[in-house]
Amino acid sequence: MSTENKNKKIEKSTTSSKSTVVVTKYQNVDKSKLLEKIDDDIQELNRLKKQIQMQSEENTQKMKELELKSTQIVTNWKDSTNAFWKDVDQREFRQYELAYDRVKVFYKEQHTKQTVAYNIQARINFKTKIRDKMPVWDALIKLNNLLDESDPDTELSQIDHALQTAEAIRRDKKPRWFQLVGLIHDLGKLLYFYDSKGQWDVVGDTFPVGCKFSKKIIYHDFFKENPDFKNPLYNTKFGIYSRHCGLANVMLSWGHDEYMYHLAKEQSTLPAEALAMIRYHSFYPWHHEGAYKYLMDEKDHEMLSAVSAFNPYDLYSKNDITYDIEELRPYYQELIDEFFPNKLVEF
């Protein structure tokens, strides 16, 4: 017998069995009570249908509430109404006129050496090799050996600053990906232990190369020693760029922001807003001083609001408070695992 005929036989047998059950159910019932019995069964069936419908409507309502809650989280993560830094004296930060001499020495070297030629070569070097492989948490621990010479606001270790930023974001109940950005935004400073020429191509404020250096860049006068300062190809307003070309097409001074941005873009599931926070958090002439807006495209305006939402946590969380690293590790390890699918990150 063919498979098709077997299936038809089984189907016929099943249908027959169902009919037998229905017939058996009613064949011993008195005719006088038959209609009453059928009516009771119909009412029970309708009751079950209504119950199922109510359950379905309840589930639908719960789904709508969850969607609304999710939408509110996405909408409200930029809200700073009750942010911790509202009570911070913002005038105490980025006081470069009172900065240590090491800060000024750093910026003189950075402004002199960050040229178009160097930035092109740095990007070639980045793409041609893997420097190390390690878990994100191990990379954070490694950063404890670095003191950022460009920072006038803190003498704490890098992991202390990372946890200060992340905990401030967490305290304000921002999304999990936002909290992770707080933890890893400076992780690109690992570059110092690999390809750097010093700290001048790792830390410090960032700025575009290939066009005129804005006077809103800190210690602008130091650019006079930069070979690109008098180069007619680079010292005009737009230089090698065009109006509203988009910051994605602009070469920012090479350092930990660019380095970590590319690593996270390739190896994490972080959203575009998170990647923008990482890439632009040191681009103070743009997000803090309003420079270079003529290079922005439509997407950059969206990303600017994200960077502006992150920046206060990075800047105003700097204080003398330190956290127990091992106590916080399980929470942040879970965040790392959520957004970095591979345990080992290629640096």
Annotated binding site for substrate: 94, 148-150, 189, 204-205, 281-282
- CA dist., res. 250 & res. 248, Å (int): 6
Cα–Cα distance for residue pair 315/150, rounded to 1 Å: 13
SS3 93: coil
Q: CA torsion 123→124→125→131, rounded to 10°? A: 80
Angle between helices 272-280 and 298-316 (to 10 degrees): 60
Count Cα atoms within 13 angstroms, Cβ side, for 254.
21
CA atoms within 13 A on the CB side of 240: 14
Which residue positions form the known binding site?
A: 94, 148-150, 161, 185-186, 189, 204-205, 256, 281-282, 314
Separation of alpha carbons 313 and 24, rounded Å: 75
The binding site for Fe cation consists of: 161, 185-186, 256, 281, 314
DSSP annotation of 208: B
Strand partners, 252: 208
Alpha helices in the chain (DSSP H): 3-27, 31-76, 101-113, 116-128, 136-142, 158-171, 176-184, 256-267, 272-280, 284-287, 298-316, 325-339
| Residues 206, 211, 217, 220, Cα dihedral to 10° | 120
> What does the DSSP assignment read for 53-74?
HHHHHHHHHHHHHHHHHHHHHH
Burial class (CB in 10 A: 0-12, 13-18, 19+), 111: buried
Tokens of 52: 């199922």
What whole-number distance in Å separates Cα of residue 85 and Cα of residue 160?
18
Q: Is 306 left (phi over 0), alpha (psi -120 to 50) or beta?
A: alpha
